[in-house]
Amino acid sequence: MPLFELRILRAGLMAGATIAALGDPSAFGQTAPDTSSAKSTGGIEEVIVTAEKRPEAVRKISGSVSAVTGAQLEALGAQDMSDYLTRTPGVVFNAQTPGDSTVVLRGISTTTGIDQGQGTTGYFIDDVPLTDPSYSIATPDIDTFDVDNVVVLRGPQGTLFGSSSLGGAVNYQAAKPELDDFGMHLQGSIESTAHGDIGGSGKVMVNVPIVTDTFAVRGVYVYRDIAGFIDNIGTGQKDANRTLIRGGRIEATWKPGPNTTINYLFLDQTENTRDLGYTEPTLAGRYAKTTLIPETANFGTKIHNLRLDQDFGFATLTATATYHQKTQDTLQDQTAVFGGFFPGASLVTVGQPAKSTGTTYEVRLASPSGDRFEYVVGLYYDNTKEKVTNIGAGTGIANSIEAVYGPIFGAGIGAIAAPNDVWLDAYIPAEGREEAAFGEFTYHFSDEWKATLGGRLFDERLNSETKASGFYVLATGGGGLSTDTFGKQKASGFNPKGSITWTPSDDFMAYGLVSKGYRFGGPNVTPSTPADPVPASYTSDSLINYELGMRSNLLDNRLQLDATAFYIDWSNIQVHLLTSTNLNYATNGGRARSYGLESTATYFATDDLTLSTNVTYLNAALVDAFNPGGGQPIVPGGSTLPGASKWQVSNTVSYQWSDNEWHPSFVLSHRYISKAPGTFLTGIPQGGYNLFDARVGVEFGNYAVTAYVANIGDTRGITGGQTGPLEQYLVRPRTIGLTFDYKM
């Protein structure tokens, strides 16, 4: 939540090791794009990603990196984060409102929702950061249609990706235009959700070479109408939480010479939810809520990215310039929370329009892979400005204030303190700047041993202001009807990383890794009072990750076994708290630690049958007891971090009849996540459920039809909710659908 925001009731497959193909990338008569994103090596598909700021095979990276290709996403029917991150080792996806959910890696978070301060997980599109320095405006959940790959980097990525990746990062790589071949992909779907309505989608990709081998354009458009399944008995609207997702991207590639590539990407996507989709089981029913108005939520992501890659032979120079923008506009009914302050008022609402805009520049030089000495060095600059507004309004507010508080503050206070029934008008601008020089250097002592050392020298600053006026400021001890508070925070330092890797054969690799992560601190602009002492600022927190991993290929590349053990020491953790008058602020607590084991296995039993599984054990908890003050109970040492489920399991069985002209296919998958607290001390646990999905498809020429059932058992599982049993976000109920594809 923003620095001044009221603590309102904010409703606010990766198969196996996630790099084994579940479907043939040349399916449906289409040849896989020549993007160097995947190469076949026997039974296992070798996926090439840029997780270390250079093209490299996933299985050669000395770190916990999972990648899923566009073909794999399509085989699973994955469209958004909830479809594939929930199948990834070490990842918890706290699904709430589309565009307003959070991703937590290895338990590194003190909240399951979006709150004041920079998040702990970084979100990137083509390596461009979309994580804000102060308050996260939105979580960019880009539709995966025609995505080249999505990479999840577990553990701190501060050396190469900066402050926005304390616990790890999620990076989308858009599919690049093909310079020599026209292509088209049309997809449509229709689906029915239990306890809800009918939804569907329409998607299109067109690739057009303008000048063969020199210039091409690739365009993608997505339209998704996601059915609602929560009834709002207060407004009388059935299936109120319908979401409309629209947008796409245009990408142009110009190759004026054999060693020069210039790429431009424009991306724009919006998520518009008609009514927040939480349920209030104690008040309204298992799949129902009750508010006086629809609680709307609108989020948007837009980027312009220009990139130059120049191959000099001895190294490749990459230079990028990006403009990025995120928007948010939400409205919530807060009558139940604040109605008691305004007797006689028939409606009390809080609206929050917000916007984040910024520019990011990066230039780096990377040596070719395979040399005895490899390196990547670069410079980075990002400047992001945020504008968050909180508007508290209602019906009959001014008259209520006049009647109840006039004898205390004097006649006319209603019109003065709540003009046009606006009882709070708060404007919170913030500006964060990060500058850095970074590098990683790898030396191959022999064919078996290599060592990597790297680091990031950074300087970051965050300036913030809160301008607030209205009755709420007066009632909460602001000293009058308006306040104007400034805050500043800055930090600089060096973020190191080191690893050593042993590769005795092509079928086995083991590594040890130590890496450090950090994130922005920031100012508190909530006023400090004797009853609620608020620190002037909260400082940057950091963590150190210790990791041992191994990757192995057995049975002539038909069996893949991977395992990673990690221990994370998180110090000076940022904790988000409330004053007695429901004002939000942040402070630094003691220490937390997280340790666990991530293991994956993929078995290509035959050319057609693939079996895969992954299991994660996680123990993430406070080390030191934390005293939040303000009359709140002490959080004892050993308390599990919010959302840190101890167990996660994902299993998939995939079969495709390759020798049949219709190529019938079948995918059955399972996911399990154990229970975890939604918040410290209070709130109902989330998790503790199993999900089963199934897909059956056939192909005929350039056409394909797929039938699917998601959440076969119609499991009612809680995925989020920051206010305990009053508000709960649920996994989508059983959904049955058909998808139609045409490719050429």
pLDDT at 14: 33
Going along the chain from its start, the domains and CATH numbers come out as 27-743 (2.40.170.20)
pLDDT (mean) for 458-485: 84
* pLDDT greater than 70 at residue 723: no
The DSSP bridge pattern shows strands 38-41 and 689-700 to be: unpaired
pLDDT at 722: 58
Which residues make beta-bridge pairs with 211?
Answer: 215
* pLDDT greater than 70 at residue 469: yes
* pLDDT greater than 70 at residue 24: no
Q: Of 17-26, 374-383, 480-489, which one has max mean pLDDT?
A: 374-383
CA neighbor of 246 nearest in space, from 213, 220, 216, 265: 220
pTM: 0.89
CA 19 distance to own-chain centroid: 20
Q: What is the 3-state secondary structure (H, E, C) of 457-502?
A: EEEEEEEEEEEEECHHHHHCCCCCCEEEEEEEEEEEEEEEEEEEEE
Picking from 4-8, 352-356, 540-544, which range would have the lowest pLDDT averaged per residue?
A: 4-8
* pLDDT greater than 60 at residue 301: yes
Give the separation between CA 174 and CA 151, rounded to whole angstroms.
Answer: 11
Give the separation between CA 100 and CA 719, rounded to whole angstroms.
Answer: 13
- CB burial of 32-61 (b: ≥16 within 10 Å; e: otherwise) equals ebeeebbeeeebbbebbbbbbbbebbbbbb
- In the numeric block, which tokens belong to residue 677? 């607290």
Burial class from Cβ neighbours inside 10 Å (0-12, 13-18, 19+) for residue 408 reads exposed
CA neighbor of 305 nearest in space, from 326, 323, 325, 327: 323
CA 223 distance to own-chain centroid: 21
> Angle CA(388)–CA(351)–CA(684) in degrees, nearest 5?
100
Encode pLDDT of 102-137 as tens digits.
889 999 988 887 766 778 898 888 888 888 888 788
Encode pLDDT of 382-440 as tens digits.
999 999 999 999 999 999 999 999 998 889 999 999 999 999 998 989 999 999 999 99
- Report the chain's terminal Cα–Cα distance, integer Å: 46
pLDDT at 132: 86
- In the numeric block, which tokens belong to residue 381? 């600059």
pLDDT (mean) for 273-280: 94
pLDDT at 525: 64
637 close to 624: Cβ distance less than 8 angstroms: yes
Q: 87 vs 46, 211, 582, 649, 665, CA distance in Å?
A: 19, 41, 37, 8, 20
